Amino acid sequence: MKITPIMREYLGEIYRLERNPEGVSTSAMAERLEVSPSAVVRMLRRLDQADMLSYVPYQGVKLTTEGEREALRSIRRHRLLEVLLVQVMGFGWDEVHEQAHGLQLTITDAFEDRMDAVSGYPTHCPHGDPIPTKDGRIAATNDQPLSDTPVGAEAVLRRVKTDDGEKLRYLAELGLRPGVPVRVLHRAPFNGPLRLRANGHEHVIGTELARALRVEVMP
């Protein structure tokens, strides 16, 4: 049974959701793929048929080994596209998720390779997620939510886990991008806002944003 680019895109999104605490729900998939829930259900049945995953109605979904391989191919394309759009085409990191979503469906393998080359063989997407290699290996991530990081810690911002354009634009304004060193200065009690220092400036970050920021704590 053959696999289409659209199927691969679903698999990529399922893979991402599987490693997310919220889990893989029909409606979550529908939202991320910008598609109706019913389209998701039908696709799940097809993907089950194609042995890409096992799907039990109302119960949930689990990728097979084969399914994971295809998912990683899709994620590679998506993240390489994001890099290309930011570094080569000059888009802001808040504009690229949706575009990569669409373009992924029509690029060729040759395009994937050229994209990799002209972007300088990047290892991470603009939001800090690792780009799987061509043979389907993906670097482990070793970071934690800024919201769980103890006061006083020296850390490096590694990932920004949101697709919300508003948030991304705001973070860009503050200069909070992957690779930037940050220090947690203070956290107000009861999940209050968090004060931190980065790029020589102090900023106050709300809880919602702090949960999206992932840092690696330095020894």
Q: Which residues bind a second copy (CB under 8 A)?
A: 88-91, 95, 99, 102-103, 105-108, 110-111, 114-115, 117-118
Q: By CB under 7 A, is residue 26 in contact with DNA?
A: yes
Which DSSP helix (H) or strand (E) runs through 16?
helix 5-18
| Partner interacting with residue 91 (select from a second copy, DNA, none; CB below 5-8 Å by kind) | a second copy
| Partner interacting with residue 11 (select from DNA, a second copy, none; CB below 5-8 Å by kind) | none
CB of 140 to a second copy, least distance (A): 31
Span of 57-65, 95-103, 123-131, 154-162 interacting with DNA by CB under 7 A: 57-65
23 three-state secondary structure: coil
**CA dist., res. 23 & res. 72, Å (int):** 18
Among 11, 13, 14, 43, binds DNA (CB under 7 A): 43
CB of 165 to a second copy, least distance (A): 13
Nearer to a second copy, 33 or 61 (CB): 33
Q: Exposed, middle or buried, 55 (CB in 10 Å: 0-12/13-18/19+)?
A: middle
| Partner interacting with residue 140 (select from a second copy, DNA, none; CB below 5-8 Å by kind) | none
Nearer to DNA, 7 or 131 (CB): 7
194-198 β-sheet, strand order? 144-145, 213-217, 154-160, 181-187, 194-198, 201-205
Which DSSP helix (H) or strand (E) runs through 18?
helix 5-18
Contacts to DNA by CB under 7 A: 4, 6-7, 25-28, 33-46, 57-59
